[in-house]
Amino acid sequence: MFHRSFCQAGSDVRGFTGIKRCRSCTTESCPGLYAIRKSNMSKPLKIGLVGTGSIAHAHLPAFKQFPGRVQITAVCDIRQQAADRFAELAGTDVVFTDFERMLKEADIDAVDICTVHNQHRHQVIAAAEAGKHILLEKPMGITLDECREMLKATDAAGITYMIAQCLRYLPNSQWVRQRIIEGEFGDIWALRSDNFASMVPPKSKIDTDKSTGPGIWYLDGKQAGGGALISQSTHHIDLFRYYIGDISRVTATSWTDHPFFINGAEESIAATMEFENGAVAQVLSSWASRTPWNHHYWLLGELGSVTSRLMPGSSPAEQYIGPLDVSLPRFDDDKSSRAFVPLDIADTDLPTHLPFVNEILHFADCCQSGAEPLSSGTDNLGTMKAVLGIYESAKTGQPVSLADI
């Protein structure tokens, strides 16, 4: 089922890195997934951040905790007051409301793009043409044509292009992936992703003749590229690919008749993903179900399983990066055979237990070394093919082979 990737030197690997080798291997093709690179940057990477919404605030601790490695030297937002407020938090007085002007005038090596989804293509291409390294918040784009255009531009520019798929940078995720590679879970046969939230009132409670909806960008298919799936479930879809490999075929059904969702954005969707190794995943995502915030996944193997812990009352971000419970023979004892136990990663090779911090430091190291990031744009095309293939299947009512799109 799952094909392991081993270093050609047979090394014992223990961390993640974009550098394609592990500690004891000089082979360029070694995946080196568990040998985190020690930074030897002589000066911090200077970054211009664009888009000062909630995800930008999640990125901020990296710059506060590691100023010797990464610094925000410019801030850009189309809202002057929002840009000013974030710049004060970031410790810079260099503020722009025009992205192209920031690229031309600011003292920056790279950009951290935290904007609305339909702005990604233009901003990535502009930054690549300006010779800036790029950290882009997910999703990469809202169409596959956009994603491919961005890859073409970044490849031509020769810059580092990384997608901020934060779940890959959790110590728990790294631990689970390594155990999968070593065969400790046996064959992985199924995964499941649940992402639910009561974002909107029930359709039955809305006067459609009077309501114009809340006007929020992520409920607008033209701005977000979709609804619940592209904004929520992209996280788990990417993590599942990281765990067990690429997806070959998808089938989906969506619900798109809630009046608050416009331009094709779905309020709810159900999908099945078939992986190249024979495993199957279910994806359920909804912003119109009466439920507390719920971001949760399962991984099921013949020898072990993983479930992310339900955390009622916690924030969405806390749930995405929350604790895991694991069932494996190594944790069995006479009293609790096959029981779930909390996965407690007390010691980690990663810089912190915060994925946003880890991913930004990894980005900085890759910019300095020229190594391919763990969540590169090239790799992320596979995630976007799955997400956008699910939308195509929901639209046509037919299975979609990802090799054909």
Q: Which of 199-213, 285-299, 304-318 has maximum average pLDDT?
A: 285-299
pLDDT digits (tens, 9 = 90+) for 358-388: 999 999 999 999 999 999 999 999 999 999 9
**Residue 6 pLDDT exceeds 70:** no
pLDDT digits (tens, 9 = 90+) for 384-394: 999 999 999 99
**Residue 5 pLDDT exceeds 50:** no
What is the pLDDT at residue 317?
76
**Residue 189 pLDDT exceeds 70:** yes
**Residue 32 pLDDT exceeds 50:** no
Cα–Cα distance, 215 to 236 (Å, whole number): 27
Q: What are phi and psi of 287, to 5 degrees?
A: -110, 10
Write the single-letter amino acid at 366.
C
- Contact assessment for residue 45 and residue 109, using Cβ atoms and an 8 Å cutoff: yes
Confidence of residue 204 (pLDDT cuts 50, 70, 90): confident
Of 265-274, 305-314, 333-342, which gets the smallest average pLDDT? Answer: 333-342
Confidence of residue 205 (pLDDT cuts 50, 70, 90): confident
Q: Which residues contact 88 (CB under 8 A, 6 or more apart)?
A: none
Q: Which residues contact 306 (CB under 8 A, 6 or more apart)?
A: 176, 185, 298, 299, 324, 325, 326, 327, 343
Q: What is the mean pLDDT of the chain?
A: 88
- Contact assessment for residue 273 and residue 188, using Cβ atoms and an 8 Å cutoff: no
Q: Which residues contact 154 (CB under 8 A, 6 or more apart)?
A: 124, 128, 134, 161, 377
**Residue 304 pLDDT exceeds 80:** yes
Domains observed in the chain: 168-353+375-404 (3.30.360.10)
Cα–Cα distance, 280 to 336 (Å, whole number): 29
The count of C-alpha atoms lying within 13 angstroms of the C-alpha of 4, restricted to the half-sphere facing its C-beta, is 15
pLDDT digits (tens, 9 = 90+) for 90-145: 999 999 999 999 999 999 999 999 999 999 999 999 999 999 999 999 999 999 99
Cα–Cα distance, 276 to 320 (Å, whole number): 26
Q: How far is C-alpha 114 from the chain's CA centre?
A: 12
Cα–Cα distance, 210 to 143 (Å, whole number): 33
What is the pLDDT at residue 319?
81
**Token output for 366:** 């890759």
